[in-house]
Structure 1
């Protein structure tokens, strides 16, 4: 295509991210055009409410309330799907791809739920799908895995993928404050949504983990095939106990591939990390991802994982890649075009998912309790590594904290069920994994 080529861009969704993309692309367009070698034209934007006042000024003639008019417009080359949700976003995405367009998306839930269909549609109709902004905001983790580390197989990827949870956990530790108080403050500051469940229950991180698992291993893992646990039961006491043991606590996504067994596991849960671990020291709303490759070893990526500017940066990076693809006919769009007839790895059964564990029990303060707990654990061949006993906030109760030697998920879940049935255990146990990743 000629050097004077103009690439027309349509944005579907002008929320926080969409406005950021429009703002920064407008401000930096001349420099981007020099780098990419084409003219970039923000042609149209679709919004829900045409009358709404926005921070970014956009000519009325460029606004529409019909996203499909952008997806179907033959003059628009790149469609940015920034709608959110999965229903309308899926329909707009598939419509654009069926016309052979390039779609840029920041929608991790859409990719997690419909990624296979989207990639298949793109291949069938000659469209392309870019999604750097869907995971870890401004951190170029997707480009790192699909391009910079393409020579590698990945036995382990783990990290912090949700800034809201990381902010809450950081504040709980720093202020010795209960979860509910810190959550309320996070909502006041705009770090947490009014309905915080998607973040704090681990589902947002799980959606992102699904994207990374597919990138690294070519298999779509549904959230109901993962271990997904949130942070709402963590207390300031857990941070004190972890500190005594030499650990911090982070909500992590952990993607592990056992190449000998050809098994993959994807988990999201609060994890004790050694205090010297770099990711254990990533605080506030920042994200961080550790990627271990069989050729390069371990590399680490950290930065702002959310917010208008960080996410807009990733979207614009994909727009630049898409424009380069249109001009030169090559680029990162080749991702995922492997032979799908080759079997992918299977999911690891619970008995093959192994780690050490931290277990906190609220128990009756009476003789013989520890012996009964130890007996249940021994029944499932779980070996106790350490014991911490503290007073409980409840009268006549004690807090019993155990760490284990390496065990597995099946044994641990069976143990939890039997511990709950003990009359001397007063509350559901709190179970955290210990991340010995080094």
Structure 2
């Protein structure tokens, strides 16, 4: 065991500054808690001249990432720069040199996770920790890796994007439009520079891929998931949900058919019963529910982002890094299942809510009904609502349980119909059970 471990940083943005500040200002206490002394050795930044919210000596700053990664004295590399290709190139170097890597980069993990863990298998002295990549201040990675290690999971679901949760909360609470609340979210800095990452469900999908790997040992590509965002949600949908004791949330859902060794991974806005704890998690908070075969259901709630919450997760990984350096142990996902495949769409079932803008004319309802029948989709409830245009109407309907494949067929046929004036809007009615 070394008397002092040296930590280097790739990137010194908001989260990294929070980590540096807390470890620097509380050095004595944190050394005691972490079980070893440490030195914040070097940070790679885009511009040394840039003013930051934390005071870092000039001699501890560099603009060359290799100064951090290739430095033989640095034991732990904290990759907090973001992006995929450049970050992966640097992480690869660090692993090949036997260093411990800590990252909050869910996009890199989602796209390069299989390669990263392949590299780790060839470099047993190295290790990667990534608590901060999912749900910020909620220790969900550690829960899966350690606290719930005895369990196999039939269902994992929850809210993994605080921006979308904030928007949906305010839309419902204030009867405000999506566009109005999104504008406020931009002003408050809640939305990524590339807002499609949040709004279109991509950020949540990256995080879902990490959870799927931890639970099932398979890296799921975005192309293998159902991924839908919140752009098309209207107040009419919020009002209907409220009337029937639902709430609309952007959910990440991972379901497992253990017997068939198949999983489904999806991100979509869903109608969630108000009796579900997750439905009552609002604002920028995240929530993750896990259904284990031994523990049953556990629900984890907390801040999903922000400097301090995410810095807390990074420091948790530093504590694990110290343990790994002392023991030379390497993490292997506890639920690796050889040959795990993705469920085909015909095997993924749900009930659905569908909103249609249609011609307000004789024969429209009959045509709509015939399309659903031809696709073997059974309608459970049908309501007609007044449209802002005199010759149009809103149709709100729900279905009995049917497959993703059947609903996609039905929506494609509806979109081609002369009676339907806009692309059908679809919400899943989420059942918090794996079946």
Which band: TM-score by shorter chain? over 0.9
Conservation of the 8 A alpha-carbon contact between 2:149 and 2:334:
no
How far did residue 123 of structure 1 move?
Answer: 2.4
Residue 231 (structure 1) aligns with:
230
Q: What are the residue-to-residue correspondences of 1:397-408 with 2, within 5 Å? A: 397-408=392-403
1:416 aligns with 2:415: no
Aligned equivalents of 1:409, 1:270: Cα separation in 2: 15
How far did residue 386 of structure 1 move?
Answer: 1.1
How far did residue 338 of structure 1 move?
Answer: 8.2
1:334 aligns with 2:327: no
Residue 168 (structure 1) aligns with:
167
Conservation of the 8 A alpha-carbon contact between 2:145 and 2:334:
no
Match of 1:32 among 3, 9, 30: 30
Residue 375 (structure 1) aligns with:
370
Deviations 1:366-425 (A, max 9, x none): 222222111111112211111222101222111110011100001000000111111111
How far did residue 105 of structure 1 move?
Answer: 0.2
Aligned equivalents of 1:194, 1:141: Cα separation in 2: 26
Aligned equivalents of 1:378, 1:208: Cα separation in 2: 37
Residue 361 (structure 2) aligns with:
366
How far did residue 364 of structure 1 move?
Answer: 1.0
Residue 106 (structure 2) aligns with:
108
How far did residue 36 of structure 1 move?
Answer: 2.5
Conservation of the 8 A alpha-carbon contact between 1:218 and 1:344:
no
Conservation of the 8 A alpha-carbon contact between 1:251 and 1:268:
yes
Secondary structure of 1:155's aligned partner = strand
Match of 1:395 among 380, 390, 398: 390
Residue 147 (structure 1) aligns with:
146
Deviations 1:230-279 (A, max 9, x none): 00000111000111222100001100001122211000100000011111
Aligned equivalents of 2:283, 2:274: Cα separation in 1: 16
Conservation of the 8 A alpha-carbon contact between 2:215 and 2:335:
no
Residue 49 (structure 1) aligns with:
47
Deviations 1:97-147 (A, max 9, x none): 110000000000000000111111122122100000000001000110111
How far did residue 28 of structure 1 move?
Answer: 2.7
Secondary structure of 2:153's aligned partner = coil
Residue 63 (structure 2) aligns with:
65
Match of 2:348 among 353, 357, 381: 353
- In structure 2, the CA distance between the partners of 1:367 and 1:338, relative to structure 1 (3 Å rule), is closer
Aligned equivalents of 2:48, 2:290: Cα separation in 1: 43
- In structure 2, the CA distance between the partners of 1:68 and 1:337, relative to structure 1 (3 Å rule), is farther
Secondary structure of 2:82's aligned partner = coil
How far did residue 52 of structure 1 move?
Answer: 0.2
Secondary structure of 1:142's aligned partner = helix
Conservation of the 8 A alpha-carbon contact between 1:288 and 1:300:
yes
1:432 aligns with 2:427: yes
Conservation of the 8 A alpha-carbon contact between 2:152 and 2:335:
no
How far did residue 192 of structure 1 move?
Answer: 1.1
Match of 1:22 among 17, 20, 38: 20
Conservation of the 8 A alpha-carbon contact between 2:357 and 2:424:
yes
How far did residue 337 of structure 1 move?
Answer: 8.2
Secondary structure of 2:294's aligned partner = coil
- In structure 2, the CA distance between the partners of 1:47 and 1:102, relative to structure 1 (3 Å rule), is same
Secondary structure of 2:206's aligned partner = helix
Aligned equivalents of 1:98, 1:72: Cα separation in 2: 10
**TM-score, with normalisation over the residues of structure 2?**
0.97
Aligned equivalents of 2:388, 2:306: Cα separation in 1: 38
Residue 222 (structure 1) aligns with:
221
**TM-score, with normalisation over the residues of structure 1?**
0.96
Q: Tell me, which stretches of 5 or more residues in structure 2 are unaligned?
A: none
1:95 aligns with 2:99: no
Residue 265 (structure 1) aligns with:
264
Residue 385 (structure 1) aligns with:
380
Secondary structure of 1:93's aligned partner = helix
Aligned equivalents of 1:337, 1:173: Cα separation in 2: 40
Aligned equivalents of 1:328, 1:345: Cα separation in 2: 31
Aligned equivalents of 2:8, 2:60: Cα separation in 1: 9
Secondary structure of 1:334's aligned partner = coil
How many residue pairs match? The answer is 432
